Chain A
Amino acid sequence: MNDLKKLILQKKFNEKIFILTSLLFLSFALLTLILLLTDIFIDGLPVLSLKFLFSYPSRKPEEAGILSPLVGSLYVMAVMIIFIVPVGIGAAIYLEEFAPKNFLTNLIEINIANLAGVPSIIYGLLGLEIFVRFFKLGRSILAGSLTLSLLVLPIVIMATRESIRLVPSSIREASLALGATKWQTIKNQVLPLAMPGILTGIILAISRAIGETAPLITIGALTYIAFLPTTPLSPFTVLPIQIFNWVSRPQKAFHHNAAGAIIVLLFLTFMLNLTSIILRNYYRKKYRL
């Protein structure tokens, strides 16, 4: 009897130890997040001002701002969206609605899954050789946008496919029964219903791309630019590269500038993620998907 009690006590004790350890690990991960944010806010908030947002980078830390990298980031994202929206959605529609079950389809599927795991810097090497050198786009916004497009396309394709799959087949059948062609059905019935999921995918792709540094450094985006890009073929820099540049300097004042720029970057990514979460919840309620 005593042995049994001991055994139960022992088991209960183990249970508690496990829960405590897990909580400890979990709070370590989440605490890191909090520490990271507070550290950055303490260092970065004092430098944040309108002047910081609207000045060019400079050799003097107190005069430096993030105008050109911020505009560069937004420019690169805008051009990238022009590519990833039609290509990503089109590819997903093909795979879900048109693709026959054959070797080629299989090959495409394997490739998309595999591309999602390729390190981003390898995309930089691809962009450097293909866009910068072969197509002679130079170290331009267009080359950067194309490189990032290839990097995030798997995200858009996978999200779009998933939300197309969620559209009930009864809707497709009803549309086809009324004499609509397959493309009309997709365009007028399937896509509008799948739109929230597709938008979420596109936003996630942008929030991933806006933080990417390595591929853009590899294709040769500059680290110091004191003018605004005018055409898609202008040289450019982006926020993450400016942050990297400031972090790599020995002076403390530049580190604070880096923290300020990080706050702006995090603000952009959080806003993007927030939008996608709100969109998801709103449409989930509306359609009870």
Chain B
Amino acid sequence: MNFKRKKFEEELVKKVFFLFAFLSVITTFGIIFILIFETISFFKEVSIIRFFTEKEWTPLFVIKKFGIWPLLSGTFLTSFIALLIAFPMGIFISIFISEYLPPKLKGIIKSLLEILAGIPTVVYGYFALLYVTPILKKIIPQISGFNSLSPGIVLGIMIIPTIASMSEDAFSLVPMSLREASYALGASKLETSLKVILPAASSGVISSVILGFSRAIGETMIVTIAAGQRPILTLNPFVPIETITAYIVQVSLGDTPAGSLEYKTIFAVGMVLFVITLIFNILSHNLRMKFIKSFRI
């Protein structure tokens, strides 16, 4: 038959599909390029020294200050509160699912946790502002209507499935022989879990925690809705703050003309956000690879 046509078709498909795959590289470089491009143009107008030394962030006011620290402190404050919730809970739940639950229940619990991970973040934002904050107000009367505690807690609940399911994967990679050896020496189930399996899977577990933390840092809607829009350099979880992501939303909602200084600020802070999450993601990825390799014989 038309052998030539077949050959041509095959080559064409291969080339087109290569382009589709290569799109991921273009996307990454596109992100890096536009962030660097707009950030450089931002630093032409505002010195980089001001960006990292000023303690106020007021680019939308008449007296403009461009210190990134209030946004950074807001971002890390909410994410740390999230970690305080999700770290112990995620680890306990993952050990419990992996070592204590019968296989049938395991699947059910994991899919229930998956539902938690699949809820749109704007819904979590609603929950934080209109359900969690009023409850917190009853316990802590001085807490303000917008604060970092409530979105922090909800962020924590949001990243529990990430930490729990990835840690559980790590535990399941630990060879059975280690468990058997531990039981043979007379250790109880708990001792085996905490003193043998947890240390053996530690890099996998840490990798999952870092990834969860990175997700919390990049999350937008929960903190935009419930944390307020006041960039203040503070570690007080009871007062309104603003995160990097919330600032980007705030500017995007207003009609900021392209090319203006305000427009450039969202790319400059976006750059900071991208670099931070990239570092955590790479760290998490390397730890996971190291962990998987350590059990490959």
Contact = CB atoms under 8 A, between A and B. Distances in A.
Do A and B share a complex? yes
Interface of A: 11-12, 14-15, 18-19, 21-23, 25-26, 28-30, 32-33, 35-36, 39-40, 43, 86-88, 90-91, 93-95, 98-99, 107-108, 111-115, 117-126, 128-130, 133, 150, 153-154, 157, 181-184, 207-208, 210-214, 217-220, 223, 240, 243-244, 247-248, 255, 258-259, 262, 265-266, 269, 273, 277
A30 B119 CA distance: 13
B121 interface: yes
B52 interface: no
B112 A30 contact: yes
Interface string B84-99: 0000110011011000
Contacts, number: 244
A136 to B, nearest CB: 11
| Interface hub of B35, B111, B126, B270 (most chain A Cβ within 10 A) | B126
B160 A36 contact: no
Interface stretch (B66-74, B176-184, B216-224): B216-224
Contacts of A115: 24, 27-28
A123 B27 CA distance: 9
B253 A125 contact: no
Contact of B120 (A23, A255, A265): A265
Interface residues of B, number: 82
Contacts of A29: 89, 93, 113, 116, 157, 160-161
Interface string B240-261: 0000010011001100001000
B188 A126 contact: no
Given A118-B277, A247-B129, A111 B118 contact: no
Given A11-B191, A117-B278, 8 more contacts: A22-B95, A36-B127, A108-B25, A119-B273, A126-B31, A184-B6, A213-B120, A219-B252
Given A108-B22, A247-B130, A255-B130, A33 B112 contact: yes
A113 B188 contact: no
A129 B109 CA distance: 42
A217 B256 CA distance: 13
B54 interface: no
A133 B157 contact: no
Given A25-B88, A118-B277, A265-B120, A15 B188 contact: yes
A91 B121 contact: no
Nearest to A128: B252
B31 A94 contact: no
A99 B253 CA distance: 43
Which secondary structure characterizes the binding site on chain A? Answer: helix
A90 B17 contact: yes
B274 to A, nearest CB: 5
Contacts of B258: 133
A273 to B, nearest CB: 6
Interface string B105-132: 0000101110110111111111101110
Interface string B183-204: 0000011110100000000000
Contacts of A154: 24
A117 B277 contact: yes
B190 A11 contact: yes
A218 B256 CA distance: 11
Contacts of B193: 18
